[in-house]
Amino acid sequence: MGKAFAGARLRRLREERGLSQAAMARLIDLSPSYLNQLEHDARPLTVPVLLRLTEAFGVDVGYFAPPDSARLTAELRDVLGEELAAGRVTPGDLDEVAVRLPAVARLLMDLGRGRSAAVEQLAVLAGERGPAADTLTPHEQVREFFYRRQNYLHELDTAAEELAANIRLRRGEVRTALAERLTTGHGVRIATGSEQLHQYDPRARTLRLSDRLRPGQQAFRMATQLAYLEHDPLLSELAAQDIPEGSTAWSLTRIGLANYFAAALVLPYTAFHAEAESARYDIEHLADHFGVGYETVCHRLSTLQRPRLRGVPFSFVRVDRAGNVSKRQSATAFHFSRTGGTCPLWNVYEAFASPGRVHVQVAAMPDGRRYLWTARAVTRSPGGWGRPGKTFAIGLGCEIRHAGRLVYSAGLDLADEAAATPIGLGCKVCDRPACPQRSAPAIGRPLAVDEHASTFVPYPVHVDSENR
């Protein structure tokens, strides 16, 4: 074990338990002066002391592990972009807060978002804009719920896998097993002909499915209903951890949790993880092997973060042709900006040009981190001539250090940093002033306006601002 400093987390644990330094020192058989040095990072946290802490306070060793600060730093840069551009804080300041004081970093983000909401409300009162929104919309609150858990919920995932084992769910017989469980275990009748994707009538105990659903989609809807019937209290308990019970966001979170359970039931963790590793995360192979859609596989791959059986940490995103992000989940440091859309150089947009083909891109973020991204367009048709369908681009990405485990890395020089496409969080918060694709000026950076000259850069900034 190398030197590990965990002063902020140690101090927070002590304060949460309402202990003085002297009281905690007695519990773990240390001198108060030694504990004081640990809390101020004057001494590293050793293995013997770590074991005493885990035994005395019942916390996991991971509680003291250094946090992956990249996500928090990116969020802080997004929310505090104007302060960063004005020089009131530096990137180093934000990184230090994210590493040493993650709770303070989250508080700063909440305050920044609250300030943005207040500014928007003032603009409404002044008649400058339309109706103001809350700091986070209900759907954004749901995204934050899963984002904070790195898109993995252990209790729900293991419960789904146990049910899959109990009903002997086998590949090729999924719908039959789920229908049997609904019928014999809960007295639910399965019917077709719904004008919606699905509709459950609790009084008649009938689950009606649309005729247009494919077999895999029918199985998913059945599995979702089983989540409510077998684990309704757990869904409510988990949703209430972050969101007020009875609110719109709470109800949407319950739906998200039920969908999570359904994916974990149809694609049980251990079997899916083993096949994913064996196939080197070949998405199309996994979709064919388990009889589900491309998007379903990508979404499940982004959840493989079970302790001691982790898969590749992925970020998952779904966008439409207009650049609207309708789904985004992340088990990596990749941060999806809430300001100014996404980057037009990202390969998820290239996917629309050739539907059905998987596009591969090595992308570099402004902080220097590189990712391997796969993207493919998928189309959903409601059936019938002249009826408009839906087309989305599905993106799945991982940090470059994991890319060698993916079949999509074949033939790529992953060590060549210059070969990576430079992308950003979104034009308004991007740190690449020389990008010719920029669609909006960066927030807080003064423009260099010259009536007698033009540049290849759409929004040139003053040199002093660029070098700040």
Residue 124 has pLDDT above 50, yes or no: no
Residue with tokens 């251990």: 270
pLDDT digits (tens, 9 = 90+) for 392-407: 999 999 999 999 999 9
Q: Which range among 229-243, 322-336, 344-358, 360-374 shows the weakest confidence by mean pLDDT?
A: 322-336
Residue with tokens 């991204």: 373
Cα gap 146→442, rounded to integer Å? 29
pLDDT digits (tens, 9 = 90+) for 211-264: 888 888 899 999 999 999 999 999 999 999 999 999 999 999 999 999 999 999
Residue 468 has pLDDT above 80, yes or no: no
Q: Which domains are present in the chain? A: 7-64 (1.10.260.40), 70-135 (no CATH), 136-266 (1.10.10.2910), 309-427 (3.30.450), 433-468 (no CATH)
Residue 132 has pLDDT above 50, yes or no: no
Q: Which residues is 397 bridged to in the sheet? A: 315, 373
> Which span out of 21-35, 333-347, 399-413, 449-463 was modeled with the highest average pLDDT?
399-413
Q: Which range among 26-30, 303-307, 380-384, 458-462 shows the weakest confidence by mean pLDDT?
A: 380-384
Q: Which range among 112-116, 297-301, 416-420 shows the weakest confidence by mean pLDDT?
A: 112-116
